[in-house]
Amino acid sequence: MSEIVLQTADLSFSYPKGANLAFEDLQISNQQHTLILGESGSGKSTLLNLIGGFSYPSTGSVTIKGQNLYQLSESSLDRFRAKHLGFIFQEAHLLKNLTVMENIKLAQSLAGEKVDEHAIMLLLDKLQLGSFSTRLPNELSRGQVQRVAIARALINKPAILLADEPTASLDDKNTYLVIELLKALASEQGSTLLISTHDKRLKDEFQHNYLLAAQ
């Protein structure tokens, strides 16, 4: 039986003066790439923030690789996150004064890993970015920027890669390219994907779907 990388139980979150959101339990095994589907406002970002340890739940727990996230102290949580989780957002948030290579090196050092330019170049090559390593983010197309974000998120081989609407700003061609690359590279790096989207075109790309009910 394959290892469970993520388990949530009785998870809920209330915004002050805002929505009360309750989430069905999620259980995801190693390499079980999963899509979280839901309309705008259904709670996708809220759920990913809870799973990423960014906001404390009102009830329930998030367990990643056997560790209950919210039992960790703040500094241990930061370390756990840098080591075991990767993130991709709708916008890439690259540091604009650093080159592609420097942005990814930074991700390695922040996780306490040794900087390994060779490993970075290998990953950039697989993302068709090999000749762009010395460019600045504003010298790249949107699709290229999003692929740099993928490299940055995967370089430390995270157990789980959380991606919040990663294809929202991309055209059809780049959307499918990015999804195919995410799946292939996550499998290679030993990471399990958890991708949120409102884009129903992606449904057939994943065997495991988790549908968020409208709240």
Contact set with Mg ion (CB under 5 A): 44-45
18 versus 66: smaller Cβ distance to ligand ADP: 18
46 versus 175: smaller Cβ distance to ligand ADP: 46
Site for ligand ADP in 4-63 (CB under 6 A): 15, 18-19, 21, 38, 40-46
135 versus 198: smaller Cβ distance to ligand ADP: 198
Find the shortest distance in angstroms from Cβ 19 to ligand ADP: 4
- Using CB under 6 A as the binding criterion, the count of chain residues that bind ligand ADP stands at 13
10 conformational bin, left if phi > 0, alpha if psi -120 to 50, beta if neither:
left
Find the shortest distance in angstroms from Cβ 79 to ligand ADP: 26
Q: How many CB atoms lie within 10 A of CB 116?
A: 13
- The angle at the Cα of 19, spanning 18 to 21, to the nearest 5 degrees, equals 145
CA–CA separation, 27 and 101 (whole Å)? 35
> Which partner, Mg ion, ligand ADP, none, binds residue 103 by CB below 5 to 8 Å per kind?
none
Find the shortest distance in angstroms from Cβ 38 to ligand ADP: 5
Q: What are the Cα distances from residue 95, in Å, to 1, 92, 105, 107, 198?
A: 41, 9, 12, 11, 27
Find the shortest distance in angstroms from Cβ 6 to ligand ADP: 18
Find the shortest distance in angstroms from Cβ 18 to ligand ADP: 3
Residue nearest to ligand ADP (CB): 18
The answer to whether 84 contacts ligand ADP (rule: CB under 6 A) is: no
Parallel, antiparallel or unpaired: strands 27-29 and 4-14: antiparallel
Find the shortest distance in angstroms from Cβ 204 to ligand ADP: 21
30 versus 49: smaller Cβ distance to Mg ion: 49
Q: How many CB atoms lie within 10 A of CB 183?
A: 15
Q: What are the Cα distances from residue 154, in Å, to 3, 22, 68, 117, 186?
A: 20, 30, 23, 14, 7
CA 170 from chain centre, in angstroms, equals: 17
6 versus 163: smaller Cβ distance to Mg ion: 163
> Which partner, Mg ion, ligand ADP, none, binds residue 169 by CB below 5 to 8 Å per kind?
none
Q: Site residues (CB under 6 A) for ligand ADP?
A: 15, 18-19, 21, 38, 40-46, 215
